[in-house]
Structure 1
Amino acid sequence: MLETLSPKIIFAIASVFVSAVLLIYFAWRTIVTANWYKKGVDFYQAEDYEAAETAFRNCIAMNSTNDAVHLLLGDTLMRQGKVEDAIAQFQEVIRRAPKRADAYLRLSNAYMRQEQRAAAIEQLELARNILRKQRQINEAARVSRLLDKLK
């Protein structure tokens, strides 16, 4: 039977098979990542920050480009007093997505925890500028009021 199949048909069958395998693989990765994310959020809400950290790190191991998970991991690390590690997470998000004002706000908070007032103010100013450009006027005004208190 195989000798009667043309190379085109064999190629088509192989292409369909490879596509199906890849589809199954990516679907599995998506499901596993979503499960780790949900576990991390559940642990965070239950204030089990060590378990949340593990879940978020597992999620990042499956998909390192999810900025929301990096921010949540940073928040989790902050809750555990691991400020340097949290700063690294926030900076990673800023490096990849420089228009994420929430990353600058979180980074500012981390710097305040380290009593690095000037660095915190700088991050707040960057966040405010981004919020203004994104026409999030109320949020920008809130950050401006915070800056006025800090200066």
Structure 2
Amino acid sequence: MFDNLNAIDIFAILVVVISIFFLGYFAWKTLITANYFQKGVNLYQQKDYQGAEAAFRQVIAINSTNDVVRLFLGDVLSQQGKITEATELFQEVMQRSPKNPEAYLRLANVLIQQNQPDAAKNNLEKAQELFQKQRRPEKAQKIAQLLAQINAKSTK
């Protein structure tokens, strides 16, 4: 049966087998990542912040480029009082993806908690600008309301 196979046929078979292997590997990796991510979200909703942190860190270990997970991890760290770590994560996302308004918004929330209204305002304004550019006026409007509240408090 194999006597009639030439080098081109063997090469083609090898390419197909290797391709199938890689597809299987990436499908498995995606499934594992999705499971850890969902576990992290569920634990976060249950207020098990340590468990959620562990799950999100596992996702990042598998897929180090996932900014959404970094934002969730920052939220979890913030909930645990690990403000410096959360701030660093949000700033990292802002550097990696400067057009991500969620990073600016989440950093602003941390800054508000730390009683740094001026720094929070700068980040809120940037988030608002990005939401407007992304044609998400409802988010931009909510930020405008928050900015108005901050301005009202600062004038008292």
- TM-score when normalising by structure 1: 0.91
Q: Tell me which residue corresponds to 1:103.
A: 103
Question: What's the C-alpha RMSD, in Å, of the aligned pairs?
Answer: 1.6
How far did residue 86 of structure 1 move? 0.9
Matches within 5 A, 1:1-151: 4-151=4-151
Aligned residue identity for 1:89: L
Letter in 2 for 1:114: Q
Deviates more, 1:63-72 or 1:75-84: 63-72
- Give the CA deviation at 1:91: 1.7
Distance 1:135 1:27 in 2: 33
- Aligned equivalents of 1:69, 1:104: Cα separation in 2: 15
- Name the counterpart of 2:154: none
> What is the TM-score with the length of structure 2 in the denominator?
0.88
63-72 or 36-45: which moved more?
63-72
CA distance, structure 2, for counterparts of residue 132 and residue 75 of structure 1: 24
What letter is aligned with 2:93?
Answer: V
Per-residue deviation at 1:4?
Answer: 4.2
What is the letter of the counterpart of residue 148 of structure 1?
A
* In structure 2, C-alpha distance between the alignment counterparts of 1:15 and 1:94, rounded to whole Å: 40
Tell me the distance in 1 between the aligned counterparts of 2:56 and 2:135. Answer: 31
The residue identity in structure 1 corresponding to 2:120 is A
User: Residue by residue, what CA displacement relative to the aligned partner does 1:40-76 show, whole Å, maximum 9, x if unpaired?
Assistant: 1111111110010000000111112222211111111
| Distance in 1 separating the partners of 2:142 and 2:33 | 34
After the TM superposition, which parts of structure 1 deviate over 4 Å for at least 4 consecutive aligned residues?
Answer: 1-4
Q: Distance in 1 between matches of 2:54 and 2:88?
A: 16
Query: How far apart in 1 are the matches of 2:46 and 2:115?
Result: 28
Structure 2 regions of 5+ residues with no counterpart?
A: 152-156
Deviation larger for 83-92 or 120-129: 83-92
The worse-fitting range, judged by mean Cα deviation, of 106-115 and 133-142 is 133-142
Q: What amino acid is aligned across from residue 75 of structure 1 in structure 2? A: D
* 1:138 CA displacement: 2.8
C-alpha deviation, 1:2, in angstroms: 5.2
Q: Secondary structure at the match of 2:121?
A: helix
**Greater Cα shift, 124-133 or 110-119:** 110-119
In structure 1, runs of 5+ residues without a counterpart are: none
